Amino acid sequence: MSRKLRIYLWTQFPLLLCAGFFLIATGYPLALLLLQSIFPGFLGGNWDNFLDPWRRMLATPDIVSMLRNSLAWAGSVTVVSWVMGIPCGYMLARTNMPGKIWARLSLLVPIMTPPYIAALAYILIMQEGGFSDSLFGTMPEALRAAFFFVLGV
């Protein structure tokens, strides 16, 4: 092995070590997940029921409408994020508005909040007997249904 190669490997060792750890830490669980989706009893040593979860998923009634709704949701969220994010980014980067630091901090809150926590909070506030019911009294069912409808979410 040449001297240059040894020096290169020695200087890159921390990076290679981190990359190896990352591959093991993410690759192993993902490989197990993939194998278990193909062979449901894989972890128990059973190789039967090949692709059974996939067949059951594709046989689900209304799978096409669920997929269409998911793609429509993703597209609409992307468009709304662009429509709101580009002007906000422009204002924060190119203007000298008063309170800029507070605007920047308030726009970071949705990024820092995990979506699961935000969804759980939304459910706890709007569910029957939730925070809004205890604060404002019983909410009309039509209003509660509107909050849990596609446009409400």
pLDDT of the chain, 153 residues: tens digit per residue: 788 888 887 888 888 899 999 999 999 999 999 999 898 888 888 888 888 888 988 898 889 988 998 899 899 989 998 999 999 999 989 999 898 999 998 888 888 878 888 888 888 888 888 888 888 888 888 888 888 777 666
Q: What pTM was computed for the model? A: 0.52
DSSP for the chain, written as a single string: --HHHHHHHHHHHHHHHHHHHHHHHHHHHHHHHHHHHHSTTGGGT---STTHHHHHHHTSTTHHHHHHHHHHHHHHHHHHHHHHHHHHHHHHHH---TTHHHHHHHHHHHHHS-HHHHHHHHHHHHSTTSHHHHHHSPPPHHHHHHHTSTTT-
Structural domain boundaries in the chain: 1-59, 62-112, 113-153
